[in-house]
Amino acid sequence: MKPAPRILVTISHYLRRDDTLALPQLRRLGLIYSSYRFILSLFSMLIVYISARSDSSPTLPSFLQQTVLSFYVLLSLILLGLFYVVSKQMRRQLAFGLALDVIILSLLLYTAGAPDLQLTMLYMVVVAASFMLLHGSQALIITLLAIIFVIYQQFFYAIANSMSLTNLGDALLMSASFLAIGGLSWSISQRLVQLEKMAASHAKEVERLNVINQEVITQMINGVIVIDEQRIVLANLAAHQLLSVSHNPSVSLHPTFVDIEDTQSTHRNLLLSNFQQQLSKQHAQLFKACLSVAAGQSRAFIYDLPAVANASIFGKLRVQIIPLKDNSKLILLEDLRREQANAQQLKLASLGQLTASIAHEIRNPLAAISQASQLLMEDVVESNIEQSTGDSMVANTSNNDETGNHELYKMIFSQTKRVNRIIEDVLKLSRQQTANQQSIVLAEWMPTFLENYFKEHDVFLHVKTQPTISFDTHQLEQVLINLINNGLRYSSYAHPHAYVEIEIYCADNDVIIDILDGGTGVGFEDLQHLFNPFFTTDQSGTGLGLYLSQAFCEANQARLLYIPEHAKTCFRLIAPAVNSDTSINMAESNFNERFL
């Protein structure tokens, strides 16, 4: 119905839009245009003087023309220096400069005395620059100012000489060209603005995905190393831990991605260089094997960690070398202990399914047998009392028989209790729940625990640091009770005075709890079966204590190991430190590790 108002509303809407170039792009283009203005002013002055000399005329340009050009050169230099030094209010500086360009060009066109197509064409550059660098309303004002000056100059020239519709038509056509150039430049600038926004959005998304990828690589339980042209360009935290290669805790970065690119690159190179040097020294065989694989070829092998790499914690690694498209190599390190843990979990699952279904059925007749043996033992005691008053010869014979029966009944009762303990341990396996982890300050918690459970025994505590771990307190109690009881029992076999020592200290980002006793240790042939269910060297044991303890440790992201290299019998519990100095250093350098 009313197309004209709609067009005006649309134009007004677009003019009010603030879709302009970002400040870095605006500053770059503004410097380019300011340099163009200064060069143009110098070139115009030289052209005027050269033209005057080439016409063999001794007269110099007019005073107005010289003044305008000198003023233009001076102001162009001032605007260029001001825009380069001052980074605030850039659009106002550009708007002032573009308005000055229109005024100076109009004065030069006026001093020429006749319409000059070359000067008139320079208006188009000003109009195009205004729509690209300024807001729509400011650019429109600059364009209207240029149109007014051009039409006025043509109209004034026509009055001063002779009225010519051709000149006025040229002026109107030139004005329409200004509007067309302005509209075209504005549409191009809007498209550039949208492309800049889209590129910035994509850059943020790529950066976010990169951060996520780096975090995923950092938190992976498998070690990841990337080698490019015999130089390590990436190594995550798990690679350091699996290979026991320490990082430099004094080199840390603030976890931001802005304004620290040079520092970030320098620190990353230092960390990578340090990691590569330690790797080539401590694991020269592994490093050479990785470098020797030809580009484009894959390889997998088992790597035995040397003793310097704390082989008691990580014995063997599966190494996979995968070629990448840019001739670099991706090296994956996997701890084989995890496969053993998975195998034990499968055993646990099958064991739980089997025992949970029959445990209660076994306990019912077992309770009856236990009760019957107790009643029989009571009957033996009562019959011995009654026969003690009878004939001595008959009483002695009867007492011998009853004593033999009493020992048999006692044996039955003790064995039923042993079977009951086995069933209870098996039921604990099948009823394992998720660990309810809590922060435990070992220096405060451990003395209370020993006071509650081992007050009457010689258990000596040596705390060399003040660590904090995250562990289920009930499960930690069960693990320590089992280990300390084993230590007291087996040390009593070797020494008349049984004792256990507990040492607590830190190594890297781990808290180490060593349970030491003076027993004979575990035989070499029993090491591979030590944590298997129902394996025991004690005739009265169930063979589930160590298995349960290891399961509790794994549920709390800890490790339970037997250390054969130790001088004493040593079971070592390794748990991640929480809020300790080592963990703080690791957290500070966690950002570095993402880019290793």
Q: What is the pLDDT of residue 500?
A: 92
Global pTM reads: 0.47
Long-range contacts of 191-195 (CB under 8 A, 24+ apart): 192/21, 192/132, 193/19, 193/20, 193/21, 194/19
Judged by average pLDDT, the poorest of 34-48, 49-63, 463-477 is 49-63
Name the more confident of 501 and 435.
Answer: 501
The angle subtended at Cα 329 by Cα 323 and Cα 333, nearest 5°, is: 105
* Integer-rounded Cα radius of gyration of the chain: 45
**Intra-chain end-to-end CA distance of the chain, in Å:** 67
Name the more confident of 463 and 551.
Answer: 463
- CA-nearest of 131, 123, 105 to 29 is 131
Q: What is the pLDDT of residue 514?
A: 92
Give the pair of three-digit tokens for residue 563. 């250390």
Measured CA to CA in angstroms, residue 398 lies from 55, 377, 449 at distances of 155, 15, 51
Q: What is the pLDDT of residue 581?
A: 45
Q: What is the pLDDT of residue 239?
A: 84
Q: What is the pLDDT of residue 145?
A: 84
- CA-nearest of 557, 531, 551 to 543 is 531
**Helix residue spans in 431-536 (DSSP H):** 442-453, 473-494
Q: What is the pLDDT of residue 589?
A: 43
Backbone φ and ψ of 510, nearest 5°: -115, 150
- Express each pLDDT in 449-484 by its tens digit: 999 888 888 899 998 888 889 898 888 998 999 899
Instruction: Look at residue 312 and give its three-state secondary structure.
Output: coil
Does 154 have pLDDT greater than 60?
yes
pLDDT-derived band at 431, boundaries 50, 70, 90: low
pLDDT above 70: percentage of residues in the chain: 72
pLDDT-derived band at 429, boundaries 50, 70, 90: low
Give the pair of three-digit tokens for residue 171. 């002026």
Does 542 have pLDDT greater than 50?
yes
Residue boundaries of the structural domains of the chain: 3-202, 220-335, 348-430, 438-586
- CA-nearest of 368, 333, 115 to 238 is 333
Q: Which amino acid is at 505?
A: Y
Give the pair of three-digit tokens for residue 117. 């197509």
Long-range contacts of 70-73 (CB under 8 A, 24+ apart): 70/45, 71/104, 72/41, 72/44, 72/45, 72/104, 73/38, 73/41, 73/42, 73/45
- CA-nearest of 300, 292, 281, 204 to 243 is 281
pLDDT-derived band at 556, boundaries 50, 70, 90: confident
> Taking a C-beta distance cutoff of 8 angstroms, is the pair 572, 495 a contact?
no
The angle subtended at Cα 338 by Cα 481 and Cα 295, nearest 5°, is: 155
d(CA 218, CA 6): 57
Q: What is the pLDDT of residue 257?
A: 33
Name the more confident of 337 and 255.
Answer: 337
> Taking a C-beta distance cutoff of 8 angstroms, is the pair 305, 299 a contact?
no
Name the more confident of 340 and 125.
Answer: 125
Q: Within a 10 A sphere around the Cβ of 541, how many other Cβ atoms?
A: 17
What does the mean pLDDT of the chain come to?
75
Q: What is the pLDDT of residue 596?
A: 43
Q: Which CATH architecture has domain 438-586?
A: 2-Layer Sandwich (3.30)
> Taking a C-beta distance cutoff of 8 angstroms, is the pair 257, 206 a contact?
no
pLDDT-derived band at 592, boundaries 50, 70, 90: very low
Does 2 have pLDDT greater than 80?
no
Does 284 have pLDDT greater than 60?
yes
CATH C-level class of 220-335: alpha beta
Helix (H) or strand (E) holding 132: helix 117-133
User: Residues 45-59: what's their mean pLDDT?
Assistant: 66
Name the more confident of 11 and 422.
Answer: 422
468-471 and 316-323 strand pairing = unpaired
d(CA 342, CA 357): 23
Per-position DSSP letters for 508-568, written without gaps between them:
TTEEEEEEEE-S----GGGGGGTTSTT--SSTT--S-HHHHHHHHHHHTT-EEEE-TTSSS
User: Residues 502-524: what's their mean pLDDT?
Assistant: 85
Backbone φ and ψ of 439, nearest 5°: -75, 125
The angle subtended at Cα 285 by Cα 304 and Cα 318, nearest 5°, is: 40
Does 258 have pLDDT greater than 50?
no
Instruction: Look at residue 2 and give its three-state secondary structure.
Output: coil
pLDDT above 90: percentage of residues in the chain: 5
